[in-house]
Amino acid sequence: MSSSRHGGIGMTSQRTRLRMIERLRGQGIRDEVVLAALSEVPRHIFVDEALASRAYDDFALPLGFGQTISSPYIVARMSELARSGGTLGKVLEIGTGCGYQTAVLARLAKEVYSVERLAPLLAKARRHLREVRIAHIRLRHGDGLLGMPEAAPFDAVIMSAAATHVPETLLEQLNVGGRMVLPMASNREQRLCVIERTMQGYTEKKMDQVKFVPLLPGVG
Ligand code: SAH
């Protein structure tokens, strides 16, 4: 860790972050708890140093290994949908990537579990999360499609890679009243999808059009 990472951009990042929050409000993010969480997590720590000056712009950024870091809007939107105005106990994230969404979730939930299939990315996320001193997160190298049955049930499951079908195993790990937020891919588009577990079964809502990397089976 270089000191410039905490000085230079770190010093100005609070102001840049507040601008980002104003932009997210303008883009329709309404949940103040989510906005507060995004204002507290230094996003520039999670992106490669060469990209740090773009960290607060509303872009998905390259993460290495052909993966991308979700844009601030997507992270805020998925968090807002997962929370749905309530409080979150346990949350499961599939696709840790750089760990930014994980860090935001840690501000919104009591316990966060996150699974990543690429070991080098998980190592990166672990470094970032240590740097911003966020605890109460369990990271695991593995296939997120299996979920984490030993930690289930979850109040929310957030998937950061696009699936072509809803993974049953993950639905089974939801609490009643819990929500799964995931990008679902069809032939021509991807849409954010919110599936809620009810006493009777599941309800499904299709939301914003999005663009995520595909969910891949197994570990890399
Ligand atoms: N929220 C992350 C998104 C990273 S991109 C961020 O903003 O950094 C999606 C991630 O999902 C990639 O890191 C990819 O390796 C991971 N992924 C894809 N399929 C997976 C699976 N089956 N299990 C766990 N992680 C998976």
Contact 212, 162 (CB under 8 A): yes
Ligand 1 atom nearest residue 95's Cα: 11
Q: Does the beta carbon of 115 lie inside 6 Å of ligand 1?
A: yes
Q: Cα–Cα distance between 113 and 92 in angstroms, integer?
A: 5
pLDDT at 122 over 90: yes
Q: Does the beta carbon of 104 lie inside 6 Å of ligand 1?
A: no
CA dihedral 114, 217, 55, 85 (to 10 degrees): -50
Q: Does the beta carbon of 69 lie inside 6 Å of ligand 1?
A: yes
Query: Within 10 A of 204 (CB to CB), how many other CB atoms are there?
Result: 11
50-76 pLDDT per residue, tens: 888 899 999 899 998 989 999 999 999
Q: Which residue reads 């290994």 in tokens?
A: 65
**Ligand 1: residue whose CA is nearest its atom 11:** 95
Query: DSSP state, 214?
Result: B
pLDDT at 8: 53
pTM of the model: 0.94
Q: Does the beta carbon of 94 lie inside 6 Å of ligand 1?
A: yes
* Structure tokens given for 146: 């299996």
Q: Does the beta carbon of 102 lie inside 6 Å of ligand 1?
A: no
Choose the catalytic residue: 2, 3, 13, 70. Answer: 70
Task: State yes or no: is 70 an active-site residue.
Answer: yes
165-184 pLDDT per residue, tens: 999 999 999 999 999 999 99
Q: Cα–Cα distance between 7 and 142 in angstroms, integer?
A: 35
**Ligand 1 centre and the CA of 113: distance in Å?**
13
147: left (phi over 0), alpha (psi -120 to 50) or beta: left
Name the residue of 96, 145, 181, 219 whose CB sits within 8 Å of the most ligand 1 atoms, as the mutation to test its pocket: 96
Domains and CATH numbers, the chain: 3-210 (3.40.50.150)
